[in-house]
Amino acid sequence: MTRLPPLLPRRIFPRLAVLLLLSILLSQAVNLHEALETEHRVHKSLVRSQIFEQLEAVLRLLQATPVERQAEVLDHLSLYELCYSLSPTPQVGTGFETDEQLIRRLGSLLRLYSAGAPRLHLLDKPEQRCDGYQAVSGRPYDGHPNHKHEFNGLAVSVPLAEGRWLNANARLVVPSVWESTPVASILVMMLATVLIVFLVVSHETRSLRRLAAAVERLGRGQPTPKVPESGPSEVVGLIRAFNTMQDRLTRFIQDRTRLLAAISHDLRTPLTSLRLKAELIEDSETAEQMIATIEEMTAIVQSSLDFARSDATLEESRDIDLAALVDSLVEDMAELGHGVVFEDSPRLILQCRPTALRRALRNLIENAVRYGEGARLCCRAQDGFALVEIEDQGPGIPEAQMAEVLKPFVRLEESRNSATGGVGLGLAIANDIVAAHGGHLEMRNLSPGFKVSVLLPLPS
């Protein structure tokens, strides 16, 4: 099943920035829409008021004009968007819905000049124009405005004293809601918002970035200084908990290593004494058995100490070529007569503790040689990891015991003979070293054979 890409970025800084910007955009869009709608209504009301005032002025002029010249005067007063005419019957009929408040307002304005209540009809798409209107050039105007305006209209019929009706047809040219949008001011506001969000979120997440870097260094086993406790209270609490955890881990590892080192040191003297006494035994067969037992005990003690030191090393990390490191290990094993082959591999730069990583890979190669009578290795990059594959032709490991063999002193060879199966620390030490570098081991049975994959994180 294909996974959909996340709607928000994964990192905390762009995630907070996107959420904050979206909330600001939404609130500003709502406020701007309400403001523009209000401005639009006010503008439309002003245009209607101007038309009503012009109509009042025309009525007042008609009262002072002889009847025979009124039609001529109206023709000269007509504009392209506002036309006047006289007729014996009103052009605006009755029976349609209209704005009662506007009618009362118009009637109050014209009560001194009309013979009765005017009739008003609001039009959504006015079609009637003053086709005879002459523009400044003297030619009839037949073009269209080069702006995106809304064209509403209204028709008014006003009764006159002489039994005639004055008809007015108006086209209301009102800018659309979004035409007067202050684009420049909005862009300036958005740029200022983005800058403020960047500065604020960057400052607030700086402590988290330092903490993340410290956690990554600790996971790789690198020396990590205490993270400064700064930022919001929640982040300070998290940093303080990390610093405390790091101190406790360091003390625990140091105490365990110190204890095992003391045990190892204290056991070496009696083991050496026992070996000397065993060599003085006249029965050579008994002496050989005792010496073999003493050597096995010595190997167990040394292996235990090595395991304790595997995650407490003070070795500093540095950049190496992983392919070159594996190649040198293969050459060393080949010089000892083992059948180890290293396939051509690309150069992989990896930050690690070379001595510790060399030891982990050597343990895995020795296991492949011991149980599979040879090994084939290769290196490559895969999904942000450096991958080292070690294959052999051995019997493999039962699936149910894959996790158990990574524990200390666990052996599949039940004889407990170090000559045939070691002391059960090789895989445990290798797994601990790889985990201390932020990587992990993957084991898989082949048909036939066995493969161990070492995955180590590459630099970002």
Residues 20-31, mean pLDDT to the nearest whole number: 76
Q: For position 80, what pLDDT does the model report?
A: 67
Is 90 exceeded by the pLDDT of residue 33? no
- Asked whether the predicted pLDDT for residue 212 surpasses 50, the reply is yes
Q: How far does Cα 165 stand from its chain's mean position?
A: 70
Q: Residue 391: pLDDT above 90?
A: yes
Mapped to the 3 state alphabet, what secondary structure does 82-95 carry? Answer: EEEEEECCCCCCCC
Determine contact, residues 94/179, Cβ cutoff 8 Å: no
Contacts of range 251-258, beta carbons closer than 8 Å, 24 or more positions apart: 253/311, 253/312, 254/312, 256/308, 256/312, 257/308, 257/309, 257/312
What is the distance between the alpha carbons of residues 197 and 22, in angstroms, rounded to a whole number?
A: 12
Per DSSP, the three-state class of 417 is coil
Q: Is the pLDDT confidence value at 356 over 50? A: yes
Calculate mean pLDDT across residues 358-386: 89
Question: Average model confidence (pLDDT) for the chain?
Answer: 78
Q: What does the CA dihedral 180, 184, 190, 191 come to, rounded to 10 degrees?
A: 180
Handedness of CA 407, 408, 409, 413 (dihedral sign): positive
Distance between CA 431 and CA 438 in Å, rounded? 11
pLDDT, tens digit, 9 for 90 and up, residues 222-255 = 667 888 888 788 888 888 998 898 888 888 877 7
* CATH class of the domain at 315-457: alpha beta
Q: Among positive and negative, which fits the CA dihedral 235, 240, 246, 249?
A: negative
Identify the band that residue 310 occupies on the pLDDT scale cut at 50, 70 and 90: low
Q: Domain-by-domain residue ranges, the chain? A: 16-175, 315-457
Task: Provide the pLDDT for residue 270.
Answer: 82
Higher-confidence residue of 32 and 151: namely: 32
**Does the structure show a pLDDT above 70 at 173?**
no
* pLDDT one-digit tens code per residue, 270-279: 888 888 888 8
Strand 165-175 with 375-382, pairing:
unpaired
Q: Is the pLDDT of residue 425 over 60?
A: yes
13 has pLDDT over 70: no
Q: Yes or no: say if 310 and 353 are a contact pair by the CB < 8 Å rule.
A: no
